Amino acid sequence: MLRDTATEPRPNGQLEALTLAVAADLPVLLWGEPGIGKTAALTQLAATLDLPLTTVIASVHEPSDFSGLPIVGDDPARQGVPMAPPDWAVRLVEAGRGLLFLDELSTAPPAVQAALLRLVLERRIGALQLPPGVRIVAAANPRSSAADGWELSPPLANRFVHLQWTHEHEVVVRGLGGIWPLATLPRLDPAKLPQAVEFARRAVCGLLTARPTLVHRLPTTETRRGGPWPSPRSWEMTLALIAFATAADASRDVLSQLVRGTVGDGPGLELLAHIDRMDLPDPELLLADPDTALLPERGDLRQVVLDGVVQAVRNRPDKSRWDAAWALLARALATGAPDLVVVPATTLASLRREDWDVPDTIGRLTGVVALSRRADRAAERTSASASRKVGR
């Protein structure tokens, strides 16, 4: 009776990221403290997707269990010595599909990790080739909480999508009450696939063109080498994940987990910022028709767009373009936070030439700029007063 549980549709970002990476046929490595529910999540995922689950505890196996056991035949000089696969690999091949779960990966010694390289990348165990229907997911504890733990070798770590697995209080409570989140495969829209692939290529290639040093950057510390870091292999995985996430309309949070879990936090955040800029409207198009311009709702993106409009006027100053920029700032003031227009308005005012008449729209912005300046002066006086008190 205690094992009789049900599932419910429930938003879960880390479960969605895991399912999307599995759907993209990329090896996934779940990092989390012991007892956090990594194994339970994989069991539930396999049951929901109707995939046979094969669990292999990496730390209790020998390297030959993954590279194959040599079997001497009748005439080894002519036929060679074949490498026989273990029984669990044979069962996966016979089933034609399944979820291979490599548990306790961080407690596997370096020799076993080296033997796992071919399994994770090429899906080969000895002379046996795993079928395309087999997906690979691994789990590991941080070295500080692993029993006799090892850092992952850089070649093995670079073959995984690394996801940080944490628990949510409400999910655990409802699960213990008998209802767990439902894991579902992402639904890819076939009509969006060509555009999704093109978008992913533009995103990754655009960033690497501007930042060539990110193509391959091996971390300097042993701990960071055992996590996600950028290489041509991991960028290729990132490209696939962006395409899948775009075609499945995945949330930004899910995309962030996948990207940062493949190339690392620094390059991943740079890529996300680059993707945001890709969707920004062209300043020239905004200046051409300011009355119908659609500005981003997010404050940081709106600030970038307004700064870009002012820079476009600076690059090619013209009375009509200057007036159009003021119209855009007035539109931004009416549809967003007033403080976002202060710096662009101040810069745009400095570009005025003597023979340019002041547009009517500038009157709506004067009060905002003046109020912002008074607030800045008040903040400076407060800060200076506090500094004097500390000095005494």
Q: How is the chain split into domains, by residue range?
A: 6-185, 202-279, 283-391
CA atoms within 13 A on the CB side of 226: 20
Q: Chain centroid to CA 240: how far?
A: 12
Question: In whole angstroms, what is the distance from residue 165 CA to residue 30 CA?
Answer: 6
Question: In whole angstroms, what is the distance from residue 46 CA to residue 267 CA?
Answer: 32
Yes or no: say if 104 and 89 are a contact pair by the CB < 8 Å rule: no
Tokens (6 digits) for 50: 């109707």
Scan for tokens 């007063």, then name that residue. Answer: 385
Q: What is the largest CA-CA distance in the chain?
A: 99
Tens-digit pLDDT string for the chain (392 aa): 887 888 787 778 888 899 899 989 999 999 988 888 888 788 878 887 888 999 998 888 888 888 777 776 666 666 667 777 888 888 999 999 999 999 888 888 888 888 899 899 889 887 789 999 999 999 988 876 655 667 889 999 999 999 999 888 888 888 888 887 776 777 888 889 999 999 999 999 999 988 899 999 999 888 889 999 999 999 999 999 999 999 999 999 999 999 999 999 999 999 998 898 887 888 888 999 888 888 888 888 888 888 889 999 999 998 899 889 988 888 888 888 877 888 888 888 888 888 888 777 676 666 555 544 544 454 455 555 555 555 55
Q: At what angle do helices 362-391 and 342-350 cross, to 10 degrees?
A: 110
Percentage of the chain beyond pLDDT 70 is: 87
Tokens (6 digits) for 9: 């549709």
Q: Pairing state of beta strands 179-181 and 128-129?
A: unpaired
Of residues 124, 158, 153, 152, the one with CA closest to residue 140: 152
Q: What CATH number belongs to 6-185?
A: 3.40.50.300
Tens-digit pLDDT profile for residues 326-337: 888 888 888 888
Question: In whole angstroms, what is the distance from residue 105 CA to residue 237 CA?
Answer: 21
Question: In whole angstroms, what is the distance from residue 164 CA to residue 142 CA?
Answer: 10
Classify the C-alpha dihedral 109-143-242-184 as positive or negative. Answer: positive
- 345 CB-near residues (< 8 Å, 6+ apart): 329, 365, 368, 369
**Distance in angstroms between the alpha carbons of the first and the last residue of the chain:** 70
